[in-house]
Amino acid sequence: MTLLFTRYFRKVSIAFILPFFLVSMISVSLNAQNKPKDETIKFNEKCLQCHGQSKYKYLNPESGSEVTKRMYLETIINRTEYYDSNHKTFKCTDCHSADYDTFPHPGRLRMESKYACIDCHGGDETYAKFKFEEIETEFQSSVHATKHSEDFNCWMCHDPHTYKINVRSEEKIKDIVAYDNAICLNCHADITKYQMLTDKVNPNILKKHDWLPNQALHFKSVRCIECHARTNDSILVAHNVQPKEKAVRRCVECHSTNSILMASLYKYKVQEERSKAGFYNGVIMNEGYVIGANRNYYLGLISLIMFGCVAFGIAIHATLRIIKRKK
């Protein structure tokens, strides 16, 4: 009996534990692929020992003393954010000149041109599904590209040292909204950054959106681009930001069975998940609720049938009362 039990236990263990073990191994190896190598971290540290914080030190050969200087804000790289970003596996010199290894950095390096997203991601089979070329075309027609000079590039919104893809992840919609809206607010809610590109006075976003009912809830539940960028069927995140006059203002654009949210904020979830049975735009209901967009087909049908039956009953009753009335 004991032997039988031991054999049975072994079989069960193999059947249950082995697949779990294999899955764990695969996930460990996948994670390892996506982590920066130790040598990369060590290599990058040569740059980050100065660029990783707000102050840096060097030895002045003239005076022989150690000098402490402040690092320019835009050249400070936060280690935590960098090693959590999409480009975390990169060495600094993958994108920047190897000549930066000398200090003081050679002056000619100031002329070094920066890569745009398309320079690495364009025309590459690996990234074909992200459609960077299309994103570039959409961006070029956007108000960001047409109203500003070349000053406005990809980096304005997507700092390559910190940018982390989130819309294709399993993250909650509310977190995606918060992350993406922070990108817009980075300039649109900061007068200093806003006026680096324009002489205009930055409009007060809260006041401009006074007309929007439940303003705080809208800001938490949808991204700015839902109303301010034109959707494109072939790319996941709309990049064609429109002039403010063309922003969506009609409530029913979202609050209807044909909700544009399904082609914007919920596009990825729609692609990944099956909608809930009988519900219009059911995927939205996992994390939110949109009046007019989330109604149930069957519930509507049942209520219509019930109303029909009552109306029919009343019609029969009324007809009989008329026929049988006292003469």
Partner 1 sequence: MSGKIYLYPIWIRLWHAFNAILIILLIISGVSMQYTNPDNPFIRFDIAVSMHNICGITLTANYAFFLIGTFFTPNGKYYKLTLKGLTSRLIKQFTYYTFGIFKHEKPPFPVTKDSKFNPLQQFTYVIAMFVLVPIVIITGWALLYPEYTLTKVFGASGLTLTDFVHVIIGFFVSFFMFIHVYFCTIGATFVSNFRSMITGFHESH
Binding interface with partner 1 (CB under 8 A): 213-214, 216-217, 250-253, 255-258, 285-289, 291-292, 294-296, 299-300, 303, 306-307, 310-311, 314, 317-318, 320-321, 324, 326
**At closest approach, how far in Å is the CB of 326 from partner 1?**
6
Rank residues 235 and 265 by Cβ distance to partner 1 and give the closer one.
265
Question: Which residue, 58 or 298, is less far from partner 1 as judged by CB?
Answer: 298
The alpha carbon of 72 is separated from its chain's Cα centroid by a whole number of angstroms, namely 28
- Judged by beta carbon, residue 98 or residue 315, the one nearer partner 1 is 315
The smaller minimum CB distance to partner 1, of residues 82 and 266, is found at: 266
- To the nearest whole angstrom, how small is the minimum distance from the Cβ of residue 167 to partner 1? 20
Nearer to partner 1, 135 or 290 (CB): 290
Q: Cα–Cα distance between 18 and 10 in angstroms, integer? A: 11
CB of 186: closest distance to partner 1 in angstroms?
25
Question: Which one, 207 or 326, has the nearer CB to partner 1?
Answer: 326
Residue pair 294/279 in contact (Cβ under 8 Å)? The answer is yes
Q: How far is the CB of 285 from partner 1 (least distance, A)?
A: 5
Smallest separation (angstroms) from partner 1 to the CB of 293: 8
Residue number with CB closer to partner 1 (160 or 288): 288
Q: What is the nearest approach in angstroms of partner 1 to the Cβ of residue 146? A: 28
From the CB of 159, what's the least distance to partner 1, in Å? 31
Given a contact cutoff of 8 angstroms between Cβ atoms, the answer to whether 174 and 182 are in contact is no
